[in-house]
Structure 1
C-alpha cells in the first residue's frame, strides 16, 4: 500500500502505514504530521458526510479549506465501522499497519470488537494512539471531552484574558493540537522502541487536559511551594519583566526586554538611562517588583511612534520585538515565504490554495506535501483491491452501504 515516493531514502517515515480513525482535529492532526514525513496514512471516514471537518468554517467548491490542510498526504476510504462487514475490513487494514490513530470516546472501539486486546493479538507490532478527553482510565474516562474543555481543565483558560474579566480562548483549538503533538511524539517514540526492542507495539494514551497541563510551565510547582494561584494577566508575562504588548500610534508591538543586558539596551533606546543604570533593576527579581513603572515608561515612548519606527529602533538595539500580525501580515511577510512556510497547494477540485508549510524543518529528510486532501472515499476501491477484495466483493459491499 505504499507509494513509490515512500521508498526514497530521504523520506523519514518510509514504509510506515498509519490507519486514521479519528475525526475533526486531534487525531487527524497527528495523522497529518506523520503523513508529511512520509507515512502512508489511510483515513477511514463514515459514508455519507465523512469527517465533519469537511464542512467546518469556510467552504470553497463545497469543501472546507481547513480540510485541504488537515488531510493532505492522506488516502480516504469511506467505511461504515458500525457494520460487521466494515469492522472486518478495518481489522484487516489494522493487521498490516504500523500505527492506528483514534480519538473516539473510550470504549467505542471495544464495542466494535477492536479493543487493544483484539488488535494486539492480531498485530503484535501495532502502535495504537488513543486521544480522548480525559484518558482511557480514571473517573472521568467516560465523559465527553473536547479541546476547549481540556484547555479549561488543564489550567490554560484561567490564565487567558484580562484580569477580572471572563476567561477567553486563544482563538484556535489549541487543546486538540497540543494533544495531537504529544500523540505524535508518542508514536515516534514507540516506533523507535519497537525497532530496538523486538518489534513489540504498545498503546499511547493521550488526554486532552493532560496535554494542556504539560505546557503550563511553573503552574503546579509554584502552587506546591508557595500556595500561589496564578491569575490572568492580559498580554503580560507575570514574573518576567518587562515583557508585554505596548500601544503605538498605529497598532501594538510585543517587546520582550526581560534579559539583563537586553533590558539595559531597551531603556537606553527609549531615553531612560536612569532606569538602565538603576542597580535595583539589574535583575529580573528587581524588575518584577517595579513592572508597573517599567511598562509605563515603555508605553510613553511607544505611544508617540508608529509600529515600524518602534521595530526599527529596537532592531538596531538588538531588543526582541515584533508586530502583532494578522493573517494578511503573515502572508505578505517575505521571511515566511523564504522558509517555505506559505506554499501553494493545488486541491483535487483544481484550484490553488495558499497553505502553511511543513514544520519542523528536517535538513536530511524534509517533510513534503505529496498529495492534496482526498474527496470522501476517493481511495476506497484501491485500498480494498490491495486487501485482495475482488470487484464483485466491492460491488456487494457498496450495495449494502458498507462502503462509499
Structure 2
C-alpha cells in the first residue's frame, strides 16, 4: 500500500508572516510534511491581512496556511520562547527544521538552536542579503519592473498586484529545505540556509535576459499588452468580449494565421515591410501593422465564433475574465479539476480550495485541508512533541504562556 503523502514524516516548525515563508511552509505541508506554525497568542502580523470577510477573518491568512498545525505561545516571555525553541529542536530524524522570515534572534537564533541540536536545518528569508526589510513593492522599483510594465511615458511607473518575488522566494524556500534535508541525510550535518527576496528577484532578472540586455546598453521599451519579442495582444470581439492571442512559436503562428484565414494578407504585409514574419522578432517589429490586420476579423465575430475557429486550429488564446467570473463559470476553477477540493474553512464557511499543483505518479493527490483555527493544535503539539502532561499544559494555559486550543 502506497504512503499517503510524499513528505509524510517530515516535521517543520514555521515562524513567519505574510507571503514567502508561509507559502514555503504550505507547499511542504500540502506534500504531507507536518508543518507547525508558531504565532503569538493574539495572532501574527498577517492574521488580519486583507482581503477579509465581513467579520474580519483574513482570507489571505486562511489561503496561505492550509494543511498546517497552529500553535500559539507568549513569545514575549522567556518561557514561551523556550517552548518554541524546544519545538524546533525536538528529537526525530525528520525533525529539527525551522523556516522563518523573522530576524534571527531570541528563539530564532541559529547558533543558539544549533547548540541544542547539532544537525539543525534553518532557512531564514530576509528582504535583502544584508538582512534589511524589503517586499515586492520595494524590490520591483529597484530592479526596474515598473518602468517596463504598462504603456505610459518613460517617466511614469506602473506597479502590479502579483507578488512575484514573494512567490518565487516561497517556492525556493521549500526547495532549499528539501536540499538541506537531503544533505543532512547524506552527511548527518545541518546548516543555516539564507535566502534574500531581493536576490531571488535579481536572479530571475538575470535568468530571463533583462540584466544582460541592459549590460549591452539597451533600454527595453514598454509594450503595453503586446507580447515582447513576438506577436501577441488583446482584441475585442463583436459582442464586446476581450481575448488574448499569442503567436510566439512557429506552430502557434501558423495556427493563428490558418484560423483567421489571413495568411495571404500577412505574407503581403511582410513583403511590403521587408520583414520575415515567420521570425518572431520581426512579428514584434510589425506588431502595430499586424494588429490592424487582425482587428477587423475579431470585430466581425462573436466570442463563440472566435472560440470555435481557434479551438479547431489549436490556437494559443484566452478570454479575459474577472476573478468572480473565473470562480463562477470556469470548469478549470471547480471541482472538475482535481487540484481543488471543497473545504469548510473555520470562520469563513465552505470554500473551493486548491491543493498542491504537483501530481506524482506514485502517490495519490492529497485532499486539501483547511487552514487551522489560530492555536488549534497548541495542546496536541505540546503533548505529542514535547511530552508535556495535562497538568503542565494547564499551568501554561492558566498563566497565558500557551494558548488554549479553540473548542
TM-score (norm 2): 0.86
Gapped regions of structure 2 (runs ≥ 5): none
Q: How far apart are 1:355 and its partner, in Å? A: 1.8
1:211 corresponds to: 200
More displaced, 286-295 or 331-340? Answer: 331-340
Q: Does 1:67 align with 2:94?
A: no
Q: Does 1:373 align with 2:398?
A: no
Q: How far apart are 1:42 and its partner, in Å? A: 0.7
Q: How far apart are 1:382 and its partner, in Å? A: 1.5
What's the CA shift string for 1:172-210, capped at 9, x where partnerless?
333322210111121122222222x22222222222222
The structure-2 alpha-carbon separation of the partners of 1:293 and 1:353, relative to structure 1 and needing over 3 Å to count, comes to same
CA distance in 1, matches of 2:364, 2:45: 28
1:4 corresponds to: none
What's the CA shift string for 1:3-27, capped at 9, x where partnerless?
xxxx962411111001010012211
2:111 corresponds to: 117
CA distance in 1, matches of 2:2, 2:99: 25
The structure-2 alpha-carbon separation of the partners of 1:304 and 1:215, relative to structure 1 and needing over 3 Å to count, comes to farther
CA distance in 1, matches of 2:158, 2:47: 23
8 A Cα contact 2:57 2:347, kept in partner: no
1:142-291 matches, within 5 Å, as 142=132, 144-164=133-153, 166-195=156-185, 197-216=186-205, 217-224=208-215, 226-239=216-229, 241-249=230-238, 250-272=240-262, 273-276=264-267, 278=270, 280-291=276-287
8 A Cα contact 1:101 1:128, kept in partner: yes
Q: How far apart are 1:114 and its partner, in Å? A: 3.3
Q: How far apart are 1:403 and its partner, in Å? A: 1.9
Q: How far apart are 1:366 and its partner, in Å? A: 4.2
8 A Cα contact 2:70 2:376, kept in partner: yes
Q: How far apart are 1:54 and its partner, in Å? A: 4.0
2:330 corresponds to: 333
The structure-2 alpha-carbon separation of the partners of 1:61 and 1:288, relative to structure 1 and needing over 3 Å to count, comes to closer
1:85 corresponds to: 79
The structure-2 alpha-carbon separation of the partners of 1:395 and 1:59, relative to structure 1 and needing over 3 Å to count, comes to same
What's the CA shift string for 1:287-319, capped at 9, x where partnerless?
233222112212232233223322221222222
The structure-2 alpha-carbon separation of the partners of 1:365 and 1:154, relative to structure 1 and needing over 3 Å to count, comes to farther
Gapped regions of structure 1 (runs ≥ 5): 1-6
What's the CA shift string for 1:223-275, capped at 9, x where partnerless?
22x21122432111222x21122222322111111222432342343332131
8 A Cα contact 1:263 1:276, kept in partner: no
Q: How far apart are 1:346 and its partner, in Å? A: 1.3
What is the DSSP-based 3-state SS (H/G/I as helix, E as strand, rest coil) of the residue aligned with 2:87? helix
Q: 2:357 aligns with which of 349, 359, 367?
A: 359
CA distance in 1, matches of 2:96, 2:291: 53
CA distance in 1, matches of 2:32, 2:75: 26
CA distance in 1, matches of 2:344, 2:243: 35
Q: How far apart are 1:349 and its partner, in Å? A: 4.7
What is the DSSP-based 3-state SS (H/G/I as helix, E as strand, rest coil) of the residue aligned with 1:215? helix
CA distance in 1, matches of 2:293, 2:236: 12
CA distance in 1, matches of 2:221, 2:190: 42
TM-score (norm 1): 0.87
CA distance in 2, matches of 1:53, 1:131: 19
The structure-2 alpha-carbon separation of the partners of 1:299 and 1:19, relative to structure 1 and needing over 3 Å to count, comes to same
What is the DSSP-based 3-state SS (H/G/I as helix, E as strand, rest coil) of the residue aligned with 2:104? helix
8 A Cα contact 2:29 2:35, kept in partner: yes
Q: How far apart are 1:350 and its partner, in Å? A: 8.1
CA distance in 2, matches of 1:325, 1:40: 37
CA distance in 1, matches of 2:280, 2:368: 48
Q: How far apart are 1:62 and its partner, in Å? A: 4.6
CA distance in 2, matches of 1:402, 1:21: 17
CA distance in 2, matches of 1:360, 1:375: 26
The structure-2 alpha-carbon separation of the partners of 1:253 and 1:134, relative to structure 1 and needing over 3 Å to count, comes to same
RMSD over aligned Cα, in angstroms? Answer: 2.4
Q: How far apart are 1:282 and its partner, in Å? A: 2.2
Q: How far apart are 1:61 and its partner, in Å? A: 5.5
